[in-house]
Amino acid sequence: MKIDVWTERYRPSKLSDIIGQKHVVERLKAWIKEGSIPNMLFAGPAGVGKTTMVLALARDLYGESWKQNFQELNASDDRGINVVRGRIKDFASMMPMGADFKIVFLDESDALTPEAQQALRRTIERYAGVCRFILSCNYSSRIIEPIQSRCAVFRLRGLSEEDTCSYLQRITRGEGIQADQDALKAIYEIAEGDLRKATNILQAASALGKVTREVVYDVAARARPRDVREMLDLALLGGRFPDARKKLYSLLIEQGLSGEDIIREIHRQLFSLDVPEEAKLRLIDRIGEFEFRLNQGGSEEIQLEALLAQFIGIRK
């Protein structure tokens, strides 16, 4: 049996089907209605629809002949100056087919070397009459200013809980799977606005039957908020370090969670703890220090135990 990737099966093919990002979609629709678009730069975190939006734009603009007038390159694969002087220049110099201009789409363009970006700047100028350039990136600061000044810049944001759950419900209806609202909310919390990640989690969880909150956290290998909260309450409110340490080892060994996952969930839970704001500020500072130690290769058990000791100290 063939198993499709849901991120591709449910990828919107038209601008009108795109979830969220209305501030960008409406402007693109207006340009399509006029029959012309400028050079553009889409910047934003992963999984918020940058690539999908460009592909939908090309389909709406060119119709059935969109592939003949559209060239997509992933700059993380072809990042040197040769790709600009070769493939991009060759495609840009060709006349469009049944249209006034063609589109060159450079995905992950923040991976282009500075030399390649300088060459691209000149190519954008030279073929402005017959070609439009669309760039997407996670970090617009890595794109040189001369290119940014030649593009209409759009900054995309992570999808809201309402938009994410609406999209996931569309998938559950299409696939005929059961997923309660609490599970969809858990997927949103884990994905943090990344729609591609949310879709992958839903597909993985659906393989186990009904999608519940517990199943979602098992599939995503993420710390359950209630388990981390229980550990913090034992340390901070009860002053029971041995019990808090036992709960920590349950997370690390029995559930197989990484120290970084646990410390991130500790950070999320911190703001809902019933402690003075001054204590929260001190704990945030300590959490940041221990997270850095873990990133530098520190022992997960020792560092997290030391962090729990900080919570005991705040209580006293």
Count the alpha carbons within 13 Å of 66 in the hemisphere toward its beta carbon.
15
| Full-model pTM | 0.81
Q: What is the mean pLDDT of residues 200-225?
A: 89
Q: What is the mean pLDDT of residues 122-130?
A: 86
Q: What local confidence, expressed as pLDDT, does residue 208 receive?
A: 84
How far is 213 from 298, CA to CA, in rounded Å? 31
Whole-number percent of the chain with pLDDT over 70: 94
pLDDT in tens, 272-294: 888 888 888 999 999 999 999 99
- Check whether 37 has a pLDDT greater than 50: yes
Map out the domains of the chain as residue ranges.
Answer: 6-155, 161-220, 225-315
> What's at 36, amino acid-wise?
S
Cα end-to-end span (Å), the chain:
60
> What's at 228, amino acid-wise?
V
Asked: is 225-315 a CATH 1.20.272.10 domain? The reply is: yes
pLDDT in tens, 144-177: 999 999 999 999 988 999 999 999 999 999 999 9
Out of 1.10.260.40, 1.10.300.10, 1.10.8.60, 3.40.50.150, select the CATH number for domain 161-220: 1.10.8.60
Q: What local confidence, expressed as pLDDT, does residue 95 receive?
A: 81
pLDDT in tens, 3-25: 568 888 989 889 989 988 888 99
Out of 3.40.50.300, 3.20.20.120, 1.10.1520.10, 2.60.120.890, select the CATH number for domain 6-155: 3.40.50.300
11-25, 75-89, 135-149: range with lowest mean pLDDT: 75-89
